[in-house]
Structure 1
C-alpha cells in the first residue's frame, strides 16, 4: 500500500498518466475518433470497390454496344423495354417467394 501511495505522489508518474488519459479520451484524435475514422474508411473502400465493378460492367456493355448493332437492339429491348412499332412487349417478373 505504501508503494502505491509513493507511486501516486510521483510527479513523473502522474504526468505520464495524465498524458495517456488526455491522448486516449480528450484529444482531437482520441480512440473513439480513430474507430469512427477506420469505420468510415472501410465503408468508403466498399463503395469504391462496388463502383469500380459497376464501371467495369458499364465499359464492357459499351464495348459490346459499339461493336454490333444487333447487340444495341437487344440491349435496348432488355434494359429499357423498347419495342418496334408493330409488336407487343410482355414483361415477366419471376417472384422469389412461393405461395402455399
Structure 2
C-alpha cells in the first residue's frame, strides 16, 4: 500500500493538464517542428562554416590585391616574367640551376 502512495506522489504533477500540455509542447518544439532545436543547431553550424569560408576568401582577396599591386609596377612585372616564364632581355643569357633534391625523379630510380 505504501508503494502505491509513493507512486502517486511522483505522478501527481502529470495529472495537471497544464503540465501535460507543456511537456507535449516542449517535445514538439525540440523534435518535430520545422524550427526544431535540431534544425536550428544544424543551421547555426552551417552559418559558422560559411563565416569561416568568408574570412578565408577575404584573406585571399587581400593577398591577390597585394600581388596585383606588385605586378602593376615595371619592376614587379619584370620580376614575375623572369621568375615564372623564364623571359629574358635581348643579348642576355639565362642559366637555370636545379639542385639534385629539387629534381622530380621516378620512384623506381
Q: TM-score normalised by the shorter chain: which range applies?
A: 0.7 to 0.9
Moved runs in structure 1, 4+ residues, more than 3 A? 85-94
**2:13 matched to which residue of 1?**
7
Shift of residue 91, structure 1, vs aligned partner: 6.3
Unaligned runs of 5+ in 2: 1-6, 103-109
**d(CA) in 1 for partners of 2:98, 2:17:** 79
Task: Find the residue that maps to 1:29 and give its secondary structure.
Answer: coil
**From 29, 38, 50, the counterpart of 2:35:** 29
Unaligned runs of 5+ in 1: 95-100
Task: Tell me the TM-score normalized by structure 1.
Answer: 0.74
Shift of residue 24, structure 1, vs aligned partner: 0.7
Task: Tell me the TM-score normalized by structure 2.
Answer: 0.69
Shift of residue 76, structure 1, vs aligned partner: 3.4
Deviations 1:4-43 (A, max 9, x none): 3222121111000000000011111222212211111111
**2:80 matched to which residue of 1?**
75
Paired residues for 1:53-72 under 5 Å: 53-66=59-72, 68-72=73-77
